[in-house]
């Protein structure tokens, strides 16, 4: 049996944002989210949609406006095939100009979805 719980929230408020990226190139960071204002990242989901049944290692980092790595949300975290993993336990601050970037050790396997709220 398969059981699922789905929670969906939709907002038209401009301070809320959500974005995602399909990591199409191995071992290359791709931008999953960026902001032009101070923000709080509320969720980072990594989904392994591998049709070949491969587990994938992923890295999620935040960089400053000069693209210098400031920290990692996860480093070589194994995402099992067919699964989705939430990697944040608590909201994280992202300063203006910051970006959330994702890489994986295999191409076309990881989808990253980031959501958050800009500060007013």
Q: What is the DSSP letter of 102?
A: E
Compute CA 31 distance to the chain's CA centroid, rounded to the nearest angstrom: 9
Give the model confidence (pLDDT) of 95-105 as tens digits.
Answer: 999 999 999 99
Of the candidates 58, 62, 68, the one whose C-alpha atom is nearest the C-alpha of residue 35 is 62
Whether residue 50 contacts residue 82, with contact meaning beta carbons closer than 8 Å, is answered with: yes
Give the model confidence (pLDDT) of 78-115 as tens digits.
Answer: 999 999 999 998 999 999 999 999 999 999 999 999 99
- The reported pTM is 0.86
């Amino acid at each position: 049996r398969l059981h699922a719980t789905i929670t969906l929230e939709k907002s038209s408020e401009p301070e809320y944002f959500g974005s995602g990226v399909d990591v199409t190139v191995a071992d290359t960071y791709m931008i999953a989210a960026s902001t032009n204002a101070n923000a709080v990242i509320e969720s980072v989901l990594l989904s392994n949609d591998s049709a070949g049944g491969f587990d994938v290692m992923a890295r999620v980092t935040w960089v400053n406006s000069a693209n210098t790595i400031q920290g990692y949300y996860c480093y070589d975290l194994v995402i099992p095939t067919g699964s989705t993993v939430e990697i944040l336990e608590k909201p994280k601050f992202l300063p203006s100009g910051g970006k959330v970037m994702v890489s994986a050790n295999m191409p076309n396997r990881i989808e990253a979805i980031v959501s958050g709220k800009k500060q007013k």
